[in-house]
Amino acid sequence: MLALLDTLNPEQRTAVTLPDESALILAGAGSGKTRVLTTRIAWLIQTNRVSPHGILAVTFTNKAAKEMLTRISAMLPINTRGMWVGTFHGLANRLLRTHWREAGLPQSFQILDSADQLSAIKRLMKAMNVDTEKYEPKKVQWFINGHKEAGRRARDAEAFDEYSMRMAELFEAYDAQCQREGVADFPELLLRSYELLYRNEPLREHYRERFKHILIDEFQDTNALQYRWLKLFAGPHAALFAVGDDDQSIYAFRGADTANMAEFEREFARGNVIKLEQNYRSHGHILTAANTLIAQNAHRLGKNLWTAEGDGEPIRIYQAYSDQDEASFVVDEAKNLNREGVAFSDMALLYRSNAQSRVLEHALFSAGVAYRVYGGLRFFERQEIKHALAYLRVMTQPEDDGAFLRVVNFPARGIGARTLEQLADTAARSGSSLWQAACTGGGKVGGFASLIEAIKQATSGLTLAETIDHVIEASGLADYYRADKDGADRLENLEELVNAAALFSEESGPDALGADVAPEASEASQPELERFLAHAALEAGEHQAEAGRDALQLMTVHAAKGLEFHAVFITGLEESLFPHEQSAYEEGGLEEERRLMYVAITRARRRLYLSHAQSRMLHGQVRYGLPSRFLDELPGQVLLHLNRRAESPAAHYAAPAPRTAPAGNDTGYRVGQSVAHARFGTGIIIDFEGRGPDARVQVKFRDAGTKWLALAYANLSAA
């Protein structure tokens, strides 16, 4: 028994050796929560407080469940195969497989994944002759799943007008279809198992008698139904051991309710809260920054991370002129770290939204640095980008049958498989492309050909970026993703494609070439759109590092949760980007964004970089933004502000020497002048560069530190 406890700190040991009572374990980032959870299970078994079959342990991913079982096996010589350790859905499935008859399911019921579920809904709607333009299948799917995840059946759905009443009817018809066919979707697993235990008291009492110890991992990520499901297993004498961190609750968009932790404390823990605050991952300055930032949130249970490893290096802040400059800085620093012996795979580039990866990928690709997009696709491999590029390919190379087939019915235009088969037969008989067959035919495929021709005419004479922007709108892609509940990221990616086109024009146009540089004759005569498509194909087809190769890790902050790295770069720290602009319109949105920033900071072990850009390409045009408020919320004593030295961008960084305003300055401002800003307060201009509308000033504010501001957007006034 002592061997199990030897490596634990006092708080961890207290949590592991708790008597048979419920408790909330408030486990900070890097505090060893998985060790505590698995050691608690091993200790309960080793001390004969419970048998392996008397434990119910729930987590959120199969990977986490497998790791728990592996660690338990390493600590105890037991067979873990029969233990109820798994995900919510995995354990719900196990319960329904065991009690299929009581649950009203066939013994061999099948599980529908999301794609299978959508297909089943489309089949149902076709059979019911439902207008799929008015009632989009994907919206019907969201309606059904949203209600199920909230614990509601069709009879409980709010129906207050013709539309919602029809949606409730489809929900009821879908459930009936699934019952006839003996299938269950993912939300059904949890809801059906909850209903089974709720209405079957003997069965409920059986499991309450069996599971005397219930352990829950990542409790902050539970939704309403998952918490209710857990409570059904909890008899009057059960000990619930909930491990979580309300400061890392970042999945509200999936239904996670951080209030479950406070409710659990009131209902079960009754003040029995153990805080795991010693961090084994990060150096002190990183933790000081994280603690100070998250303290701005009002609704939290409260804890303060600390480490015995010392303060470590300061957090480096870089203010870039542009998003390209920011990407270049990141690449240079990563290469420097690699030369110092840090593996690329132990570095992570984090960003708030997927669209930000495009500029970073381009910089890494150009510098020859191997990278891997973790938990997602490279920019040019994403579905919406491939759709947009396919439209462009049909415009430039209509004989490209692959591109034609990708978009002829996307977004849906009522062109079914049978119509396309007939079109392919026509093309084969005449030896033509599908496009040519569509042009000579009629009906809806003819309408698609007319759409492409209309787009070609409308974009004649437009710039490359304007052309792509028009294609995204005129094709229906923008409207399709606007109507998609989960389409916001895809819309941002399409906007980033417009930015990529604008940058491509800037970098490859005649003004970008030196006096002694000329393009090849064949390249110079090739239309810009065709060259851009070739460029996109090259970036899509290369440089994502193969498995096992040392490569820089790119990912969203959401994808980074649970991971750690020697060095972390958090990019795009600007207002409306991080925190995201949507947070201003959602209740608790800003606090969730701050928790997301907290998660990002605590991924770093030794080196942390925070960067923001004064200008960024948005919607194909340069936009100027303010630094993120999160930068202002960090303690100044742990920060080191960097500015790139022009003579050696890859070497050292130092603060620039102040300059006087340039001759001919016509802005009305001068170095040494006192100014006021609506957000940052009063300050003094200490540096100045540029002229006219491009001028920017560096202001040392009394309470907000030193900041560069573009005069055209700064809204400064004389103090």
Q: What does the pLDDT look like over 287-317, one tens digit per residue?
A: 999 999 999 999 899 899 999 999 999 999 9
Contact (CB, 8 A) for 372 and 580: no
Tokens 């939204």, residue? 353
Contact (CB, 8 A) for 672 and 684: yes
- Tell me the pairing of strands 639-642 and 674-677: unpaired
Contact (CB, 8 A) for 618 and 495: yes
- The confidence band for 188, taking pLDDT boundaries of 50, 70 and 90, is very high
Tokens 């200490």, residue? 686
Q: Which of 11, 12, 33, 459 is catalytic?
A: 33
- The question of whether 217 is a catalytic residue gets the answer yes
**3-class SS at 368?**
coil
Question: Cis omega before residue 627 (within 30°)?
Answer: no
pLDDT (0 to 100) of residue 511: 44
- The question of whether 603 is a catalytic residue gets the answer yes
Q: Which of 17, 34, 292, 396 is catalytic?
A: 34
Tokens 């970089």, residue? 609
pLDDT (0 to 100) of residue 474: 94
CA atoms of 713 and 217, how far apart (whole Å): 47
DSSP lists the bridge partners of residue 706 as 700
Tokens 């990060």, residue? 282
**3-class SS at 371?**
strand
Return phi, psi of residue 374, to 5°.
Answer: -85, 130
Contact (CB, 8 A) for 488 and 480: no
- The question of whether 666 is a catalytic residue gets the answer no
CA atoms of 333 and 429, how far apart (whole Å): 59
pLDDT (0 to 100) of residue 313: 95
**319 to 45, 537, 597: CA distances (angstroms):** 54, 32, 18
Taking the CA atoms of residue 437, residue 443, residue 448 and residue 449 in that order, the dihedral angle to the nearest 10 degrees is 40
CA atoms of 341 and 322, how far apart (whole Å): 29
Return phi, psi of residue 628, to 5°.
Answer: -60, 140
In the chain, what is the greatest distance between 2 CA atoms, to the nearest angstrom?
A: 88
Lowest-pLDDT choice from 107-111, 256-260, 400-404, 695-699: 695-699
- Higher-confidence position of 25 and 416: 25
Residues 6 or more apart in contact with residue 665 via CB below 8 angstroms: 688, 691, 695
Contact (CB, 8 A) for 16 and 8: yes
- Tell me the pairing of strands 604-618 and 565-570: parallel
- Segment 699-719, tens digit of pLDDT: 877 777 777 787 766 678 877
pLDDT (0 to 100) of residue 595: 96
Helix residue ranges per DSSP H, 129-185: 137-149, 162-181
Q: Which of 141, 248, 356, 673 is catalytic?
A: 248
Q: Which of 217, 325, 332, 384 is catalytic?
A: 217
**Residue 543 structure tokens:** 């440089």
**531 to 393, 404, 522, 524: CA distances (angstroms):** 11, 20, 11, 10
The DSSP letter of residue 355 is G
pLDDT at 518 over 50: no
Taking the CA atoms of residue 629, residue 633, residue 639 and residue 643 in that order, the dihedral angle to the nearest 10 degrees is 10
pLDDT (0 to 100) of residue 544: 57
Closest CA to 217 of 252, 248, 254, 263: 248
Contact (CB, 8 A) for 45 and 213: no
Can you give the pTM of this predicted structure? 0.77
- The question of whether 33 is a catalytic residue gets the answer yes
**306 to 5, 301, 421, 600: CA distances (angstroms):** 21, 17, 65, 17
- The total number of residues shown for the chain amounts to 719
CA atoms of 38 and 566, how far apart (whole Å): 26
- The question of whether 632 is a catalytic residue gets the answer no
pLDDT (0 to 100) of residue 540: 63
- Number of DSSP helices (H) and strands (E) in the chain, helices first: 29, 21
Q: What is the CA radius of gyration of the chain?
A: 29
pLDDT at 402 over 70: yes
Q: Which of 11, 188, 218, 495 is catalytic?
A: 218
- Segment 578-637, tens digit of pLDDT: 999 888 778 888 999 999 999 999 999 999 999 999 988 876 678 888 899 999 999 999
Closest CA to 485 of 175, 222, 146, 223: 146
**Residue 171 structure tokens:** 């929900």
- Segment 65-97, tens digit of pLDDT: 888 888 998 888 888 878 899 999 889 998 998
